[in-house]
Structure 1
Amino acid sequence: MECAGKGRGTRCLGPPRKRCGRCGAVAYCSASHQISHWKEHREECDRLEQQMKRLDLVNDFPFTFSQEATLQINEKQESRCSFLSKRGIHQVGMWICECCCGASITSFNYSRPENNTWNFSSILCPCRGPSSPIGKSLCTWKDYYEWRCIPLHSPVALLLHWPLTVYHAIQIAGLGSLTFEVSKLRIHYLGPEKELLQLAVFGELRALFPGVHVHIELIGPAVPQHRDGDKIDLYSYAHCIEKDCSCKSENESTSCGIGTCISSAVTLQLHRGFYHDRFGDISENSFPHLVIAPNAGIAAYTSWLPTIHFRSY
């Protein structure tokens, strides 16, 4: 969490340890930043207080994977860089932003081919379709790993939490049954950041929603200007590193015949800007079944307030 008063004329004096005594949702580095931010925060304080009363519901969210991803890192026995290096994925491909020394989004070309691979053998990653359909709603990482036949020591959850969060959001929003009724599921995904370097992992939604074309509009200021409007069709899952694996030959490309047209299972479209500025032109052709903002940080980033107010009408 960042100081909610960051950038208000004076530099932060340290970590944000002073929480708002009423809502507890925002924190400050100093009393002066808390006082200067009150004019804006008081409009949101009551609402955030009510949301914080439901904090247990947020804590039960199953498909999150904290920055301290392993027991060893959590107990400071090794660094995140060491954890990644031991597995040969430090500053490599989709893993490049998984430690503090990774490249920034703006300085990296996320269209590179190596960003379509897990950099693992097939036994450690979901590079092919599932061997069996989902028998039940997935509620834990253990459920998911067993279904996809991946050993629990595989770190792929670090990247898979993006599509699995989309899956869980659809379930808790009561839209799970909708996927049996519609051929195309439309999602607006707000504020993508490092997942822009990990777009291939969204191919896992093909397995999570079989027979449904999932269309995701990714909208946020982190999208580079030259990629605004780009459309990415995911015809296969992210690949493993084995040269002879069948995932290299899987390519369910678009094909149309007499009276039929089979499209890619997952389509991503990128849009630069804030949601409240882009909603009109995007929703004209893609009105969403679900809006999700996994990186919102609404308590600390005032730039999100117009979007929050916009969506409340």
Structure 2
Amino acid sequence: MDLHLKSLFGRFQEQFGSGPGLGPGSGTCLMKVDGIEPNFIKSLYKASAALYRTEPWKRLRPGHYFSVRVGKDSGWTGNKQPFLCVQFIGGDGGDVGFYMFRSESDAKKMTGPRETIHVPNVELLRVTYEVESLMFPSNRKMIRTLSLEASGTDRFPVIDVTRCMPGGDLRFRNPSFEELRFVYAFMKAISMVHPLLKQLDKEGGPKYSTLAYFEPFIETVDVQWPPEVTKRGYDLVAVTISHPPGQAYEEKGSMSAGSTPTKYRESPGEGNFNETKVYSHAGSRQCAMCDKEVHGEHSLCCGQCRAVIYCNSFCQKQHWNDTHKSMCGLYKAMMEREEELAIKIFMFPCSADQPCQWLESLSIHQKGMWRRKCSCYSHCPFGLLPVKGGLQELWGGLNEFEYPHDFPFNNHYVSSPFHLSGWSEYYNLRSLSLSSPVADILSHPLTVYHILTTLNISSKNLVLKGKEVIVHCLGPEGELDWMPAFAEIGHLLNGLGNVQIVMVGPEVPTNLSGTTSGISSRVRVNFVRGVYQVEASYLPTPHVVIALNSDLERYSSWGGALDLIKLMAVPAFFTEQSEVSCVNAKQVLRNAGLHITQPVTPNPFRSPVKNITPSSNLPSYSNGFVFGVNT
């Protein structure tokens, strides 16, 4: 009888509170892991609490599989990633947490309709959030001794590795230190990227399925190891997460341990080289191989990706053999996002392959602030365009329904910043006609506003408390002539908070340097000529650093500025015009020892006007993509 009760109690304890999971009750304790330091346990619990706050199980179910890759294979025992597939549990009831599997096939074999299936000789790592009072004494003692951070109000993570034996029994063990490093990196990364999943319409999945379906997703973020891990020779690590699993990566031998695996489609083989004469856009173009200028009607583009411009088939084939063969799949994937990136709500032409003609078609050529949108005034230094007339003239003589007026919003009596999801909401709020092209210039101030009130938590909290936010804006150029547009930030704050923008860069004209412009009652701008790393010590300490259309890969002067940003540990956000620029910018940041904590995402306030670059058809928009470090 006693043996029967003991067996019954054991099975009950194994499944207690499990719902679809395997249940808690393993009796493992992280304090027993060889080589682990108490501070690393604290870091694990802190990362776990941060993940818990994002509540991934509100949308994610066990049927949603994620592949995960932490650094390079060579960084792990046996040159193999410890775990390849992850699923979240608890969305359908029971304990919340996640399981990590050695392979996707293991995950699918163990995922049943209502609970996890016991598959003999399959091992998985479990992270489940349990109430402290139901935990084993060893874990309760560890929590109190180390003052570990709770997840939510009363839960703490239990981490163990379980294996189902041939007889159906479960065997538990403590995870190794290496496995815990992997768990830490995953928790830090998934907290940032899972909110970016975009749900498909119901038509996108099976007709009667209750499972939400998401668009294919892949993102890489840099995770900073905690100090107790850094001492072991680690610093940054690139974590790549994709849904669904199975997307291909190619690991370059020249990459550092913390570099990003790059997403590739399968490149066409040598025998499949496509010499089809696909003509590019009209206008003057430039051959990617020999830099020869060629008219669009006589130029060619790659028949596979249609992204790269050539003057003839000889240059096309030579470029294929030299470099393009390895990049063609990546460019093709980027070209397929063109429809997604295009903003189609506007009623004016959103392609400006010839800027002067585009401006002329809108009757704003060489007028007001639009003079900086073509090369006609390139002889005039930034910030020194002659100013004539009032606000309407500055907006090129647009009619009164086509530009934002310099006064607060009507019928909004609550002092609180406006939260805008994109151009449609802004145009509606400002009662602007969708035929107005002002979004092309307003992209700059509204991107700054979006960063301050949405992406950067610390500046958002300061604004909500009615305090001042100090922004260092690096490398301004055209912005120096668009100061009237930056007054819109003050209006959108809607009576709460203030913003001080310090514009620092070598293009600031000498006669403006050291001056202050109060462009609205809540926004003032200081101008400083020089390079950031030299001038920063004389400036007020920033709450956030912003660089619009940063072109990180092009300018060597960024090195000193990035070193300073790392030293100050201040949140910094960058925008780039294309995905290729983002890929290169991420590598520049890693080389500077900075890790990306705000993943690359399309900027909802990117300019709707597509840039046509001389040697490429890749989607490119002013302030097209935004990402951040130290956030």
TM-score by length of 2: 0.33
TM-fit CA distance, 1:276: 0.6
1:232 Cα deviation from its structure 2 partner: 0.8
Contact residue 219 and residue 272 of structure 1 kept, 8 A: yes
Say whether the 8 Å CA contact 2:408–2:494 is kept in structure 1.
no
Structure 2 CA distance for partners of 1:216 and 1:104, relative to 1, 3 Å: farther
Please point out which of 371, 381, 388 is paired with 1:96: 371
1:266 aligns with 2:541: no
Alignment of structure 1 residues 45-60 onto 2, 5 Å: none
Residue aligning to 2:492: 208
Change in Cα spacing, 1:95 to 1:169, as seen in structure 2 (3 Å) is same
CA contact (8 A) 1:296 1:304 kept: no
Residue number among 100, 109, 123 corresponding to 2:401 in the alignment: 123
| Contact residue 463 and residue 498 of structure 2 kept, 8 A | no
Map of 2:432 onto structure 1: 150
* Superposition misfits of 4+ residues, deviation over 6 angstroms: none
The residue matched to 1:101 in structure 2 has which SS? Answer: helix
In the alignment, which residue of structure 2 is the partner of 1:253? Answer: none
- Tell me which residue corresponds to 1:256: none
CA contact (8 A) 2:382 2:480 kept: no
> Quick one: which amino acid aligns to residue 172 of structure 1?
L
Question: Superposition pairs for residues 160-199 of structure 1, below 5 Å?
Answer: 160-170=442-452, 171-174=454-457, 175-199=459-483
SS at structure 2 position matched to 1:97: helix
2:535 alignment partner in structure 1 = 278
Change (3 A) 1:294 1:107: closer
Question: Which structure's residues are more often strand, by fraction?
Answer: 2
Please give the per-residue CA displacement for 1:131-150, whole angstroms capped at 9, x wherever unaligned.
Answer: 24478621111011111111
**What's 2:181 paired with?**
none
Cα pair 2:506 2:530 within 8 Å, conserved: yes
Q: Deviations over 1:42-86 (max 9, x none)?
A: xxxxxxxxxxxxx9xxx9xx9x99xxx98846396xx33222123
2:352 & 2:388 partners in 1: Cα distance?
36
Choose the corresponding residue for 2:387, options 96, 112, 115: 112
The answer (yes or no) to whether the contact 2:490–2:522 under 8 Å persists in 1 is yes
Residue aligning to 1:138: 420
Q: Secondary structure at the match of 2:431?
A: coil
Shift of 1:115: 7.8
Aligned residue identity for 1:312: K
**Residues 124 and 296 of structure 1, relative CA distance in 2, 3 Å threshold:** same
- The answer to whether the Cα contact below 8 Å between 1:186 and 1:216 also exists between their aligned partners in 2 is yes
* In structure 2, distance between residues paired with 1:298 and 1:75: 24
Aligned residue among 287, 290, 303 for 2:541: 287
* Structure label with greater radius of gyration: 2
8 Å contact from structure 1 (residues 110, 197) kept in 2: yes
Gaps of 5+ in 2: 1-288, 293-317, 323-333, 568-631
Give the number of aligned pairs. Answer: 225
Q: Is the 8 A contact 2:409 2:494 kept in 1?
A: no
Give the Cα separation in 1 of the matches to 2:357 and 2:508.
Answer: 29
Residue pair 1:187, 1:291 contacting (<8 A) in 2 also:
yes
SS state at 1:207 partner: helix
Provide the residue aligned with 1:74 in structure 2.
351
Secondary structure of the 2:534 match is helix
Q: What one-letter code is carried by the residue in structure 2 that aligns with 1:112?
A: V
Indicate whether 1:83 and 2:358 are aligned.
yes
Partner residue, 2:509: 224
Pairwise CA distance, 1:184: 1.7
SS of residue in 2 equivalent to 1:96:
helix
Distance 1:135 1:73, change over 3 A: closer
* Superposed displacement of residue 191, structure 1: 0.6
CA distance in 1, matches of 2:448, 2:377: 25
> Per-residue CA shift, 1:77-114, capped at 9, x if unaligned?
xx332221233211112110112333345177246244
Paired with 2:519 and 2:361, the residues of 1 have a C-alpha distance of 30
Separation (CA, whole Å) in 2 of partners of 1:277 and 1:219: 10
Q: CA deviation at 1:308?
A: 0.6
Structure 1 residues 218 and 135, CA gap change in structure 2 (3 angstroms): closer
CA offset digits 1:187-232 (Å, max 9, x no partner): 1111100111111111001111122222110000000112111111
Normalised by the length of structure 1, the TM-score is: 0.63
Q: Distance in 2 between matches of 1:159 and 1:298?
A: 21
Contact 1:224/1:272 (CA < 8 Å) preserved in 2? yes
Deviations 1:133-178 (A, max 9, x none): 4786211110111111111121000111111010111111123232
Residue of structure 2 equivalent to 1:302: 556
SS class of match (2:377): coil
Residues in 1 aligned to 2:554 and 2:375: alpha-carbon distance in whole angstroms: 21
5+ long unaligned stretches in structure 1: 1-11, 16-29, 35-54, 236-263
Deviation at 1:126, TM superposition (A): 0.8
Aligned 8 A contact 2:385 2:481 in 1? yes
Q: CA RMSD in A?
A: 3.2
Structure 1: which amino acid aligns with 2:441? L
Partners of 1:292 and 1:276 in 2: CA distance:
14
The 2-side partners of 1:108 and 1:281 are apart by 22
Task: State the shift of 1:182 in Å.
Answer: 3.4
